[in-house]
Amino acid sequence: MLKNKVALVTGGAEGIGRAIAVVYGREGARVVVTDCNDQGGKETAAMINQSGGQAIYLHLDVTSPENHEQVVDEACKQFGQLDVACNNAGISGEFRLTGDHTPETWKQVIDINLTGVFYGVRAQINAMLKTGGGSIVNIASILGQVGLEEISPYVAAKHGVVGLTKNVALEYGTKGIRCNSVGPAFIKTKLVNNLPDDVRDHLSSMHALNRIGEPEEVAEMVVWLSSDKASFITGNYYAADGGYLAR
């Protein structure tokens, strides 16, 4: 689906980001894996290369607008262009009632989960415009649609990602750039371990499929949205949620 495309992934060192990068590679894209976890990011790139794909790893601090521009410039230098980007990097933050969250916690989560996505799309858009367009997929969450107690910074950030995605789609649709968001439910990643015990014990039953998701199941949706098979799809939110939002 992505033969001859160049795809960039943030937060590609593990979990959903790694799965997205690997499936991008499987579908023929040349993949730029980015993360602040250098060891994990290099391992992801190595997995793609060992499977017959082509990938490089670049360090990225998503809270740095200059670093976003640097990795996009390097991607274009190495591979000639940028066709696809998935802004996946994020953190859950601490679990506290809204009145107990500190300004420091709020700022950290917003900086990484929302402002970091803005910095990403800003750099990616400018590169894509030079070659006639591309596709951007922003990883939101089911919590980009509904709330969850004790995680207000995360909920606010992910709602913001959904709104930002819509605006990018509206502004750049006539310029060849599509932009969509994907909202995973609870997925088998390290982030699940951050949940309170009482929440983690009932995760499966929160989903209509009575299980949590696999990173690869999210990746398949992201890669389809990134491809030309989704050529008429932009500005939308897609839940990869096992029926969580159906309740």
Q: Which residues are catalytic?
A: 154
> What is the residue-wise DSSP string for 160-223?
HHHHHHHHHHHHHGGGTEEEEEEEE-SBSSGGGGGS-HHHHTTTGGGSTTSSPBPHHHHHHHHH
Contact 59, 35 (CB under 8 A): yes
- Three-state DSSP class for residue 244: helix
Give the Cα separation of 66 and 136 in Å (integer).
Answer: 19
Tokens of 64: 């740095």
Residue 48 is inside which H or E element, if any? helix 38-50
Q: Indicate if the alpha-carbon torsion angle 203, 153, 180, 28 is positive or negative.
A: negative
